Every structure is written in C-alpha cells, then in structure tokens.
Amino acid sequence: MTLQDIGTTSGFAARTAGGSDARSHRQTYHTRIAKKILAEFAHERALDPVATGDDGYVVSSADGRTEYHFRADRLALDSWAIDESSLRRVRDGAEVPVDAVAMIVDLAPFLGIGPQALPEYLEEFINTLAISTERPDVRRIPATDLAHADFQTIEATMTEGHPCIVANAGRLGFSADDIDRYAPEVGNHFRLVWLAARREDCDVATVNDVDYDSLLLDELGAETLAGFDSALRDAGCDPADYRYLPVHPWQWVEKVQKLYSADIAGRRIVEVGTSPDLYQAQQSIRTVFNATTPTRNYVKVALSIVNMGFTRGMSADYMRTTPLINNWVRGLVADDQYLAAIGFEMIFEVAAIGYRSPTFTPITQPGSEYRKILSALWRQSPVPLTAADEQLSTMAALLHVDHLGEPLVGAFIERSGVPATEWIRRYLRTYLHPIAYLLYRYELKFSPHGENLILVLADGIPVRAILKDIGEEVSVFGEAAGLPESCARVRTTEPDEIRNLGVLSDVLDDFLRPLAEVLHTHRIVDDGEFWSLVGQSLREFVAAHPELEDRFTRWDLFAPEFGAVHMNGLQLRNNKRMVDIEDSYASLIDAGHRLANPIASQRDG
C-alpha cells in the first residue's frame, strides 16, 4: 500500500467532510489525548489522581467544579494505563462530553501553566489535537493494512507525535494552508527552493569521502546545475563566486526574503530555481524525504517554527561541525564486528552548509535564533540498505493506534505469525541491544526515541534497526580519543551513577514504557511479562559482553531506581528551547522524583 492508494484529499473541504463519522472520530481523539494528558502529567506527578475503589480514580479541576473519572491500571515506571471508555467529565454534577482543550484549562494550575503562558500553550495543544481530530477519513488507514504499507505511507500516518510530550506538534508559525502543504501527516510532495549564496558567507563541511560539489551533482543532475549557473549569469553574477543551497519553501517566503532582503538586493543571495525532485516531510517536519528518487539523501533544512519545545532553525555554527561529528562516529564504529553481526546501521549526515548573515552574525552569539535562518544538511537514505522483501518503518509506528482502536504493533505481530513474546524478544535484540552497546562500549549516548529509529522488518518481524540524527543528538562521555576539537560541543562529563540513564531513561522510560502500555491495554502482553522480557534481554546482552563487565558494574542497568526526566515540565519551562543541548544530562533530572527500575529484581534471573 502506498500514499497514492489512499487518496490525496486535504484542506478545509476534507476536514469538514464525513458527517457523523468525522464527528465520531473527533470525539474519539479528544478522549484519546485527554487520556494522555492525565497519564503523562500523573506520570510526572503534576497530577495526583485520587483512588475511588475498583481501579477507579478521579482528578478534580482547580476550581473544584469539574471532575474527571476513569479506571486505570497502575503499571511499572509510574505509568498509568487508563481505560479510555471509562473516562467521564462531570461539570457541576452533570456529565458532559470529554473535551481535551477544556481539560487543559481545568487543570492548568496543577500542570504548572500560569495565566500568561496558558494561551500560547493552548495554541500548541490545539494544533496538536487537530492532527488527529481534523484528519480526513480518506487518510485513516486500518492497522491491518498499514502493517503491509510502504515506508512513507507509514510515516505520513503517524499522528501521535512524541509519546511523552502532550503538546508535541504546535507548529507555531504555520498557517492552515501551510499545514496542508507541508505537514508530515498530510503527506504532500513539494519542491525545495534553491539559492546561490556568496562563498565567503557560507560554511561548508562534508565527511571525508564526500565532495560538496559532487554531492550536488548526484542530487540535482548536471542539467539542473547548468540552469542554476545560467540564472546566476542572468543576474550578472559569476557562478564561481557562489555556493548553492536549498531552503524550505516556507522558510524562503516567511524568513529569508524578509530578514535577508538587503542580501538579496545586493546579490549576496540569489534565487536560482527549484529542485527537480519532489520531497515529503518527515515526522521531524524540517527533514524531507526524496519521494521522486528515494535512494537519494534526505535533506534537512532550517524551519523557524516553534514545534515541540524548540524553534526548528539550523545554524551555520552547527553545520560546520555536524559532518565532522558524523565522520568521527562513523570511523569509531566502522569495523565493529558485533554491530555488523546484528545488522545494526547508522545513516550519516554527510554534508552541510550554513549561511552567515553579514548583518546578524556579528551582533549575535551562537545559539541565537537569528543565526538559524538559512542552513541545510544531507543525510543518507535508508532505502539502499534494504532488500526487496524487507519493509522500512519508523519505530514510532509501534505506538500507533488506528481510528478503530487497533494497535499497529498488534498487526505487525499478527502478520509475523510468531507469538507476541517471541516478537518482542526479537525487537529488543534489534533495538535495545545496539543502543546499550553504543553506550557501554563506545560511551556514546543518543536520543533513540521512536522517530529517530527506523526498523527493518521481514514479514512483520524486526530484523535490524537503523539509527539517524547522529550529529545533533549524540553525547560523548569520557575522553573520546580522536574527536576533533571543533566538535567539543558533543563531549559531556557525567558521573557514573547517571550514565545508565542513556538506557534506563532514554529507552525504558521514554519509549518502552509507552509501548508496554499499548501492549498491556490491548491485551497483547501483560505489563509484568513485558518487563520480564526486557530484563531477560538485558541479561542476555550483559552475558554476551564480558569485556564490558567493569562498565556494567559502574553504570548499573539493574539499579533499584533512577531519576525521572519530566519532558512536559521541561517544555512548559521554555517552549522555544526546552533543553540546552550543551547542558549536562544531570540538569534535566527532577531531583524529587525517582522511578523504580522495573528490571532491578532480574539482575540474576
């Protein structure tokens, strides 16, 4: 199944079509995200549901007039498996429909959202809610069909966003028309705008075996490049004085043409054309996949909208080091026999370019949003890494539940024909083992959440994993021999007692906890059994690597407890930069909240 098989209806007409079915879906998703609000803020201890007996709980509004009643199972890692069919809203003693927006208003003081911050948070939340509630019915795909779908159909069907963050798709800055053109869940194809910028204003970097000009030839073709040259000459410019770089169409119209109008007037920047290939936005929104020639690179471009705790620009400061970081990581793991044996791969960011504004760069410091207006990088495509009988899927798909209430992970398991417990064992070897290995063998900590991992499946069974987003997400512990000094931004020093959070927090709490809830709620695998499988898998991993015994002792995977990271709290603290990438990991931990490690008792089996 491909995107073309499910239609292309989008926009206001599609959102208002569908009659009672559309209304039913809207209520379904209001209830579903209301459940997430309760579950995630209770997990972060911002809410304290009161038990009412028989697995029942109630949360009252700040003004005391509204009560939310529900049934829930309390799972490992302070996880709340809420029965959505039980969720009721009672206002002044009368039951009224569940409204997720009203829930945020009702509970805002408990969530730490002050009166001044509430309107903007609601804007982000309403935009997030609309992804599911306003999705046209022609784009809703049953999980049983999606389990057989192609890579980009699965990608465009994901509407849940980050599993822990509630307002995870704010897209502040996009209009309704922009959403219809460029949002990942719409699945539209569009062309990138190409510019020429003066060479002296550009930072260009590549990995060792890539030449920037040769990459552009491979990506664009000789005919397109000749057309760009001709456009420059027509503008009275010498192509030898310029570098070509792509820009997102929205960024070109909304930011570059405005902020850099003097540069354009002075021909420091010249528009030369559009990409011959069409691209499709990925879940990360500023990364686009080549829909015309899928074996060509992803392109990641600056996009100055606020989305999930960050303004999504990209700076020349980072572009000049990102390929160098990738080059170093690639060299570090290139000959690793264990990673090769399990088929684990990384797709690297092989080239990058950033424009340094003669106006804004001298008056700003690194990190300023005004340095993040015009940059791009190229990341390898996973398509050449797969065989004809293999299927690519974002790992985020394992958390997807369709409009009928059926989980995609269940459909994958059914397609595989193997027992659910065996499917999970294979999945954990595919995902958990290599992430733990990179941390314990090489002292590399990534951000291996669902969108950053691509699964390779054969008949629905995970057979290996591909990690992406290397340069911006990696943290390097220890001395990191050979790391270029220019790349020192990725080096971090953390005490032994929290280095295990690269697995316990980033994997167990941030992804496996939500997965366990889906499996438990849909009666595929009980929560206790799931964590038993995780413990067994990590014991298997530890036993297979006796050479790492000292680090396993110091960075204990079976520690009784570990510090919690409150993702929603971080976003509410600063929605434009929820985390400073250069901060220590310890600064993200909530000092008053410790999570009981669900595999602690399984150290010795």
Q: List pLDDT tens digits, range 160-169.
A: 999 999 999 9
CA distance 57 to 564: 23
pLDDT of 6:
45
Residue 12 pLDDT class (50, 70, 90 cuts): very low
Q: What is the mean predicted confidence (pLDDT) over 319-333?
A: 96
Which amino acid would we find at residue 338? Y
Q: In whole angstroms, how far apart are CA 223 and each of 215, 230, 275, 353? A: 14, 11, 11, 22
Range(s) within the chain of domains with CATH label 1.10.510.40: 388-467+494-602
**pLDDT tens for each residue of 117-145:** 999 999 999 999 999 988 888 889 999 99
Using an 8 Å Cβ cutoff, are 223 and 266 in contact?
no
Q: What is the mean predicted confidence (pLDDT) over 326-333?
A: 96
**For the domain with range 388-467+494-602, which CATH number is right: 3.40.50.2300, 1.10.10.10, 3.90.25.10, 1.10.510.40?**
1.10.510.40
Using an 8 Å Cβ cutoff, are 467 and 453 in contact?
yes
pLDDT of 13:
39
Q: What is the mean predicted confidence (pLDDT) over 371-399?
A: 97
Q: What is the mean predicted confidence (pLDDT) over 266-282?
A: 98
CA distance 227 to 220: 11
CA distance 191 to 234: 22
**H-state helical runs in 403-476:** 408-416, 420-442, 470-473
364: which 2 tokens?
A: 């700003």
Kindly report the number of other CB atoms within 10 A of residue 231's CB atom: 17
Residue listed under structure tokens 């809610």: 129
List for the chain the helix, strand, coil content (%; round to 5).
45, 20, 35
Question: Does the structure show a pLDDT above 80 at 8?
Answer: no
**pLDDT tens for each residue of 189-198:** 999 999 999 9
pLDDT of 438:
97
Residue 23 pLDDT class (50, 70, 90 cuts): confident
Q: What is the mean predicted confidence (pLDDT) over 367-393?
A: 97
Q: What is the mean predicted confidence (pLDDT) over 43-63?
A: 95
Q: What is the mean predicted confidence (pLDDT) over 214-225?
A: 98
**pLDDT tens for each residue of 342-377:** 999 999 999 999 999 999 999 999 999 999 999 999
Higher-scoring residue by pLDDT: 578, 41: 41
State the chain's mean pLDDT as an integer.
93
Using an 8 Å Cβ cutoff, are 484 and 328 in contact?
yes
Candidate from 12-16, 31-35, 514-518, 554-558 with smallest mean pLDDT: 12-16
Residue 214 pLDDT class (50, 70, 90 cuts): very high
**pLDDT tens for each residue of 467-480:** 999 998 899 987 77
Q: Please choose, from the candidates 92, 111, 112, 104, the residue with its C-alpha nearest in 3D space to the C-alpha of residue 30.
A: 104
Residue listed under structure tokens 């809420």: 82
**pLDDT tens for each residue of 83-108:** 999 999 999 999 999 999 999 999 99
Residue 2 pLDDT class (50, 70, 90 cuts): low
Handedness of CA 93, 94, 97, 99 (dihedral sign): negative
Residue 580 pLDDT class (50, 70, 90 cuts): low
**pLDDT tens for each residue of 404-422:** 999 999 999 999 999 999 9
pLDDT of 7:
44
CA distance 332 to 128: 39
CA distance 476 to 489: 9
Q: Please choose, from the candidates 446, 397, 423, the residue with its C-alpha nearest in 3D space to the C-alpha of residue 537.
A: 423
Q: What is the mean predicted confidence (pLDDT) over 573-583?
A: 74
Q: Please choose, from the candidates 90, 34, 85, 47, the residue with its C-alpha nearest in 3D space to the C-alpha of residue 67.
A: 90
CA distance 436 to 330: 17
